[in-house]
Structure 1
Amino acid sequence: MDTSKDEYNKENRALLLTKQPDFHILSMKDFKVGHEIGKGKYGRVHLATNKSSGYIVALKILLKQELKHDKLLRQLEREVEIQGNLNHPNILKLYGYFQDEKRVVMILEWASLGTLYAQLKRQMRFVEKQASRYIAQIAKSLKYVHERHIVHRDLKPENLLIDKQGVLKLADFGWATYVQDFTKQVKLNISLKTNGYNTHNTHYSHFKYSSSLKTICGTLDYLAPEMVKRQSYNEKVDVWALGIICYELLVGVPPFESIGFPLTIQRIVLDEVMIPDYVSKEARDIIIMLLQKDPINRPSMEQVLNHPWIRMYNKSSPQNSTQTKLTKTIITNINYNNC
C-alpha cells in the first residue's frame, strides 16, 4: 500500500472528527497491510489501513515461535498491559491487539514523521529552541508514567516518535515495569496465551509492584550509573536517560560514548559530563541537573518542566494529537517482582 501524507491527513483527520474505529474484536483480515516501516529483534512494523473505517495505523507483528521463551512472553504481556492503559498526547497509543495461531499483532498509533533518532541524524544537532521543546514533551510523558508508578527503562531517540503535527510520542514499552510496593487489581478480557482468534474471557489479575528493581536493561549509552553498577534503582534511571538525550540533541552524540563496552561503563560511572562552550548557560544547567551520579539528586519531571531553559521555549503547550478512546485488552495472572 502506498499511502501519501495527504491521504493520511484527509482520512485520519476526518475520522478523528467523527466516529473512530473499534479495534476491540479484529483479525488480520480486517486490515489492508502495507509496506514495512520498522523492525525489531522479534517482529516487524507495517503501515496498515482498517478496511471498514479507513483508519491508518501501524501493526507491530510478532511471531509466537520467537516468543516461546517464558520471559519474552511475560515481557510482551507486561508491555501490552502497561501501554494499553496509558492515555497521554505524548505517548504512542496502543489501541489494542489480536492474535492467531502464529502471530501476536499490536495495533499502534502511526507517527508519520518517524523517530527522533532519524531526525537527529539528518540535522546532526538541534538548535536550543527545538531541543527544549522536545525535552519538554518527553518530560511530560515521563511525568505521566512516573505518577502511575511505571518506569520506562529504555528511553532513547529511537523510541521517541514524531507525528504529522510534530508532536513527540514516547514508544516501545517492552522494558517498562512497575515500581513501588502496592497491589493493583486490573480487569482483563483477553488471554495472550490462547492459540485461537479473539478469545474474550473476562477475569482479574493482581500485579505486584516492586520497590527494588535490579535488571540491567536498555541501551548502554543511556544507562544510569546505578544500573550499570547492578544496584537497585527506580524511576530516576529515566531522568538520567533524559539528560543523555538532552545533551545528544544539542551536541549530536551521547556524552559518555566510547569505543568498547568497558570504557563506556567506566565513563558513565566516573566521568563528569563535558559540555561544549556553544551550549547556553541555561541548557548546561539542566544537563548537569539531570546527569547527577546520585539518583537522589536528580530532579522530578515537575522540576524539569519548571526549569528556565524549558520555560524559555515552551510558553504554550505543544499541540496535542487527538487520542482515540482507550481499548481495554490484556493479560492473565502475572506477578512482576524484581524484574
Structure 2
Amino acid sequence: MCNDEDTIKELTVGRRVGFYKVRGQIGCGNFSKVNLAVHALTKDKVAIKIMDKMRLDLQTQWMLSREIFNMESLYHPNLLQLYEVLETPSRLYLVLEFAGGGDLHTRISSGGKLSDQESKIVFAQILSAVKYMHENNIIHRDMKAENVLYTTNSCIKVADFGFSKRVNNRNQALDTFCDVWAMGVLLFFIVTGTFPFHADTVAKLRQSVLEGAYVLPTWVSAPCQRLIRGNLRSDAHWTRCWVASGSHTTASPTLTPATPPSPPICVAWQME
C-alpha cells in the first residue's frame, strides 16, 4: 500500500488515477463503483473498480483479496484481465480490461435468444474459459449471464471473480460441478431466452432444481438438448469428467484459430 503523501496525490490528482484519466461511471456495486478510464499515454480504455476501504468489512476484504489473487494468476483470451492494483490509505483501485459491449443477460433480455451460430461461438468461449480455470485449480462459483461480458460482437469475457475459489488438490475439486451445472443453465438461456427453472418461492425453486424439473423446447436441436441435459445432470463425477475432457458424446466443440477482431475464439460444433 502507498503511504507517501506525494505519491498519493499523484495517484488521485483531479480526475486521474495513476496514468489513467477517469471518465464517467459505468457501473456500481454494494461497496464499489466502476468508471471508464483512458491511459494517458497509450489511450487504451480500461475499467477502474473503485472501493472505499472504510466501508469494507473483514469478510469483504478477504473475498477481495482472494479475487485479486485468483485474477492475477489467470491469463486467457476469454477471461477479463486485471491489469494492476493501486492502493491508498482510503481507497483501492482495480484496473480492469474494458468490455464495452454489455453483458449477455442484457443482450438476450432485450434482443431475445441468440442465433444458432452465435450460440455456438459464445458457449465455446465460455467452455474454453471455464476449462482453463479448472485446469489451473480455480472454480468461478458465480457463472451467470450477467458475468459474461462482450468486448465485440463476437468476443466474450467471463468476469467477476468475487466468489472464486482455489483448490489445492485436484482430487478434492468436487466444487467444479457447480460451474458445469451453471454452464447448463447458461446454455439453456442462450438458446431459448428463458431460464430452465421457475417457481414462485425459493423453496419451490430449490425443489425444482433438485428434481431437475425443466422442459426443453422441441425446436432446440437434439445435440444441443443432449448437451444441456448433460450439464444439468446431478451426477457431479460425470459432469466433472465432461469438462475435464472438453468434449461430449453428441456435440464436440472444435476450436479453430481466432478471426478478426482478435482475440475471440471461433468455433464450429461437429453435430451428429
- SS state at 1:45 partner: strand
Q: Does 1:259 align with 2:209?
A: no
Q: Does 1:71 align with 2:71?
A: no
Count of residues in Structure 1 that have an aligned counterpart in Structure 2: 249
Change (3 A) 1:142 1:307: farther
Match of 1:329 in 2: none
Match of 1:225 in 2: none
Where does 1:297-312 land on structure 2 (aligned, <5 Å)?
A: 297-298=238-239, 299-301=241-243, 303-305=245-247, 308-309=250-251, 311=253
Taking structure 1 as the reference length, the TM-score comes to 0.68
Change (3 A) 1:38 1:310: farther
1:82 aligned to 67, 70, 75, which one? 70
Match of 1:177 in 2: 165
> What is the CA–CA distance in structure 1 between the aligned matches of 2:22 and 2:252, rounded to whole Å?
40
- Runs (4 or more) in structure 1 with deviation over 2 Å come to 299-311, 314-323
> What is the CA–CA distance in structure 1 between the aligned matches of 2:224 and 2:30, rounded to whole Å?
35
The answer as to whether partners of 2:131 and 2:246 remain within 8 angstroms in 1 is no
Match of 1:104 in 2: 92
Change (3 A) 1:321 1:62: farther
Q: Does 1:161 align with 2:129?
A: no
Q: How many percent identity over aligned positions?
A: 27
Match of 1:288 in 2: 229
The answer as to whether partners of 2:227 and 2:248 remain within 8 angstroms in 1 is no
Taking structure 2 as the reference length, the TM-score comes to 0.84
> What is the CA–CA distance in structure 2 between the aligned matches of 1:29 and 1:303, rounded to whole Å?
43
Match of 1:195 in 2: none
> What is the CA–CA distance in structure 1 between the aligned matches of 2:80 and 2:244, rounded to whole Å?
21
Change (3 A) 1:266 1:281: same
Where does 1:137-286 land on structure 2 (aligned, <5 Å)?
A: 137-164=125-152, 166-181=154-169, 211=172, 233-286=174-227
> What is the CA–CA distance in structure 2 between the aligned matches of 1:261 and 1:146, rounded to whole Å?
29
Q: Which moved more, 1:85-94 or 1:46-55?
A: 46-55
Cα offsets for 1:67-119 (capped at 9, x unmatched): 1x211111101100111221110001100110112211100001111111111
> What is the CA–CA distance in structure 2 between the aligned matches of 1:248 and 1:318, rounded to whole Å?
25
Q: Does 1:52 align with 2:13?
A: no
Change (3 A) 1:43 1:321: farther
Match of 2:51 in 1: 62
Query: What one-letter code is carried by the residue in structure 1 that aligns with 2:21?
Result: K
Query: What one-letter code is carried by the residue in structure 1 that aligns with 2:192?
Result: V
Q: Which protein is richer in strand relative to its size? A: 2
The answer as to whether partners of 1:136 and 1:305 remain within 8 angstroms in 2 is no
> What is the CA–CA distance in structure 2 between the aligned matches of 1:271 and 1:165, rounded to whole Å?
33
Query: What one-letter code is carried by the residue in structure 2 that aligns with 1:99?
Result: E
2:256 aligned to 305, 310, 316, which one? 316
Query: What one-letter code is carried by the residue in structure 2 that aligns with 1:153?
Result: R
> What is the CA–CA distance in structure 1 between the aligned matches of 2:115 and 2:204, rounded to whole Å?
30
Match of 1:227 in 2: none
The answer as to whether partners of 1:165 and 1:321 remain within 8 angstroms in 2 is no
Change (3 A) 1:89 1:211: same
Query: What one-letter code is carried by the residue in structure 2 that aligns with 1:31?
Result: Y
How far the C-alpha of 1:167 sits from its partner, in A, is: 0.9
Cα offsets for 1:187-234 (capped at 9, x unmatched): xxxxxxxxxxxxxxxxxxxxxxx937xxxxxxxxxxxxxxxxxxxx41
